[in-house]
Amino acid sequence: MRLDFPPKYTETIGSIKIHSLQKIYEIDSGNVVNSNNQRNNNTSTIAFDNRKLSKKCTKMAVVIPVKNEKLSLLEGVLSGIPNECLIIIVSNSQRTPVDRYAMEVEMVKQFSQFSNKRISIIHQRDPNLSRIFHKLNYTSILDQHSQVRRGKAEGMVIGILLAKMQEKEYVGFIDSDNYFPGAVNEYVKIFASGFAMSQSRMSNIRICWRSKPKVANNKVYFPRWGRVSEHSNKYLNDLISYITGYETDIITTGNAGEHALSMSLAENMQFASGYSVEPYELINILENFGGIIKESSRLHKDSVEIFQIETRNPHFHEDKGNDHIIGMLQESLSAINNSKICNTDITRDIKNHLLVLEQKTNQTSSRTGAISNNHLMDPIKTISMDKFNELVIDSPKLLHQFNASEI
Ligand code: GDP
Ligand code: CO
């Protein structure tokens, strides 16, 4: 893979480096004979060959959150993930009246026989898993009935834990409703390239889609921005402009569903529930490492690097309708708004925006328009991994692992 390097510009905030969007020139840049050739006499790009990417992939788990997606979609996503990666599927699919989770397990079992991939699958609402969290006193993932809450972010946190249990250094997230396995393959290679570029052990690689194709009036269109990212990018940029004092448009990946974290960073972060997880990731990094909040003591010890990389493949996923988009926008904006680092002007703008959305939902749909109060989950480094490991092993039906012997 060959991409822009160094990034065109970088915003430095406290110990965080946010790099501007990097473009890919070659998805496959061929074999690089020696490391000097990585730059190929060309000072503005860097190339990573398959050997280098493959090395990174062996240290990576790819977490796939899934909720009631078509089995063939999920299977396509699995087929796009390089063999070296450990795949962790965290499902919140229905169990009754039709047990869709059992269907997923069966599909994965068969698929892993043909593909020789290492795949683990778990159900996030499994009562055994809730019990484990209860025992470990990790209650921020539980609801009032001591059950693991629903939500994509909750699934992601479980995925990070399972990746940590298997001693993975990196964890990437890829949605299960992607129609193009080739795009999925590109995402993983982007994650691997991002980690290869990073100078810091704490890094976040965020994917910016080249386009999101839409069909309208019997024609295919290729709009660049989704309806949610446009707005969350704007407010995140407003926030960064306010912090640095210079107007910026550096953030292009506010709602990047596809993103990756080094474990050193992931285990230190708080995650916001549901769909606000991606924009909140940036907020949480700013809160913890930006040196903006006095009491955040972690500043200076470690630096965090954030890479944003633009795909060549378009992003084509399941269309979940207008209500879904509005709900996601509400959750994303309130995650930004609820932060201690958000100033009054931005808060006012966001509140007005939310009000308009609220009116829209009341007019156009059955959604109550309730804005999530952005529940936060504690950093997973607070969990004893030995104990977690032990408890998972003691619950034999909890985690299905295929081709596990090679893990
Ligand atoms: P969008 O692509 O951002 O509009 O959101 P999606 O509805 O496609 O969700 C992103 C991914 O998260 C998809 O793969 C969903 O199947 C999955 N997902 C959604 N809700 C949940 C959940 O409650 N738990 C888990 N584990 N996955 C979920
Ligand atoms: Co989707």
The atom number, within ligand 1, closest to the CA of 64 reads: 14
Please say whether the beta carbons of 303 and 15 come within 8 A: yes
Q: For residues 385 and 379, what is the distance between their CA atoms, to the nearest angstrom?
A: 13
The atom number, within ligand 1, closest to the CA of 255 reads: 3
DSSP letter string over 50-113?
Answer: HHHHHHHHHTEEEEEEESS--HHHHHHHHHHS-TTSEEEEEE----SSS-HHHHHHHHHHHHHH
Ranges of beta strands (E only) in 217-295 are 219-221, 259-262, 271-272
Ligand 1 pocket, Cβ-based, cut-off 6 angstroms = 65-67, 69, 90-92, 124, 150-152, 155, 175-177, 257, 317-318, 320
Q: Are strands 86-91 and 304-310 parallel, antiparallel or unpaired?
A: unpaired
The string of pLDDT tens digits covering residues 24-67 is 999 999 986 555 455 556 679 999 999 999 999 999 999 999 99
How far does residue 175's CA lie from ligand 1's centre (Å)?
7
The string of pLDDT tens digits covering residues 379-397 is 999 999 999 999 999 998 9
The atom number, within ligand 1, closest to the CA of 66 reads: 16
Q: For residues 335 and 141, what is the distance between their CA atoms, to the nearest angstrom?
A: 17
**Residue 214 confidence (pLDDT):** 81
Residue 296: strand, helix, or coil: coil
**Residue 270 confidence (pLDDT):** 95
Ligand 1, from 69, 152, 212: best to mutate by most atoms within 8 Å of Cβ?
152
The H or E element that residue 196 is part of is: helix 181-197
**pTM for the whole thing?**
0.94
The domain that holds 401 is classified in CATH as 3.90.550.10
Total count of domains within the chain: 1
How far does residue 257's CA lie from ligand 1's centre (Å)?
9
How far does residue 68's CA lie from ligand 1's centre (Å)?
9
The string of pLDDT tens digits covering residues 310-358 is 999 998 888 888 888 888 888 888 888 888 888 878 889 998 988 888 8
Torsion of CA 273, 279, 280, 284, to 10 degrees: 150
Write out the residue range of the structural domain in which residue 293 sits.
Answer: 2-406
User: Which amino acid, 38?
Assistant: Q
> What is the average pLDDT score of the chain?
90
How far does residue 9's CA lie from ligand 2's centre (Å)?
30
**What is the number of H-type helices and E-type strands within the chain?**
12, 17
Q: For residues 326 and 312, what is the distance between their CA atoms, to the nearest angstrom?
A: 27
Cβ contacts of residue 141 below 8 Å, gap of 6+?
133, 148, 149, 154, 157, 158, 377
How far does residue 299's CA lie from ligand 2's centre (Å)?
35
What are the angstrom distances between the C-alpha of 248 and each of 79, 240, 243, 244, 251?
A: 38, 7, 10, 9, 8
Ranges of beta strands (E only) in 14-59 are 16-19, 22-26, 45-47
Ligand 1, atom 20, lies closest to the CA of: 152
Ligand 1, atom 28, lies closest to the CA of: 152
How far does residue 315's CA lie from ligand 2's centre (Å)?
9
Distance spanning both ends of the chain, measured CA to CA: 26
What are the angstrom distances between the C-alpha of 54 and each of 195, 199, 275?
A: 12, 19, 31
Task: Express as a percent the part of the chain with pLDDT over 70.
Answer: 92
Ligand 1, atom 8, lies closest to the CA of: 177
